[in-house]
A and B are shown apart, each in its own frame.
Chain A
Amino acid sequence: MVVCRLLFNGRLGVTGGFSELIGQIGRRSLEFDWRGWFLIGVVLGGTLFMALAGGRLFDGYGWLTETFHGAGGGIAIAAILFGAGVLIGYGAKLAGGCTSGNGLSGVSLLSPASLVATATFFGTAIVVSFLIKALI
């Protein structure tokens, strides 16, 4: 976060990187700004760590693969993750950032908007997690 500010006067945020890639590709351009290249680096960081660790860090997918089984279960997991992804993408854009943009970068600047956003998404995710635990 500090390095992004120092080098680019930019706010570290992964949603910003996704937004840059999707926006530019939608304009049929591969001329990404620093946010797009930052995101490409994050993806490569995952690849690099997997290579150093000698394989993926985990198998399955948390409560979803523990709950749903078989071919029908696979479709259910895919649909749930897809739906969750839509909410994550749209919600983060509307809120002006995700856990990195609002949570880390904004909170460290004591930005009131980021403090409110971070408290809201942490609180919501906690309630949702307990609801899921009660339902399964």
Chain B
Amino acid sequence: MRPRLAAAAVGIIFGVTLCWSGMSNPDVIRQALLFERAYLFLFFASAVAVATLGTATIRRLRRRAVLADAPLVFSRERPTRRHIIGSLIFGVGWGVADACPGPIATQVGQAMPWAACTLAGLALGIALFLRAGRTETEPPSDVPAGVGTASHPPAPAPVPSGVR
């Protein structure tokens, strides 16, 4: 129960942050993608900077996950064709809807009627991918390649980044 509550709490903080920062508003995303406002890019860059510093910190302080029986693994992947093709497809959808999965989730939480349409499409897109039996591309954790569970097939081989 503790991991579930902790994950939900982290999700609530993430969702509130997305709303507070304006990222759930399609107008904010569109203005950024049209280079009318630098806000999205500055927000994104600051989030990446904090995440990079935080990751470097826990890398030095801890070896195992707090709520999972697993060592902390900081793996990197080599780019393949699917990363480019998938991102091209994703980018078209993002540019049209001006919302990505996080903001769509917060729009659903705000009971926005239009979000139901995007959510239905998003669910169908993911279901089509899963139904096609494609290799799971988002592992529940960065476990070594070949390690999976019945409900979560093995992840593609990550490239350990080593100690920086």
Contacts and interface: CB of A to CB of B under 8 A. Distances in A.
Nearest to B5: A37
Given A43-B109, A78-B117, A34 B4 contact: yes
Contacts of B42: none
* Residue in B11, B51, B114, B141 with the greatest tally of chain A CB atoms within 10 Å: B11
Nearest to B150: A27
A121 B90 contact: yes
* Residue in B30, B121, B130 with the greatest tally of chain A CB atoms within 10 Å: B121
Contacts of A39: 11, 105
B15 interface: yes
Interface residues of B, number: 112
A120 B88 contact: yes
A32 B109 CA distance: 19
B90 A85 contact: no
B1 to A, nearest CB: 10
A1 B96 CA distance: 27
Interface of B: 3-20, 22, 24-27, 29-30, 33-35, 44, 47-48, 50-52, 54-55, 57-58, 62, 64-68, 70-80, 82-102, 104-112, 114, 117-130, 134, 136-142, 151-152, 156, 161
6 contacts: A7-B7, A7-B66, A39-B105, A48-B109, A94-B86, A109-B161
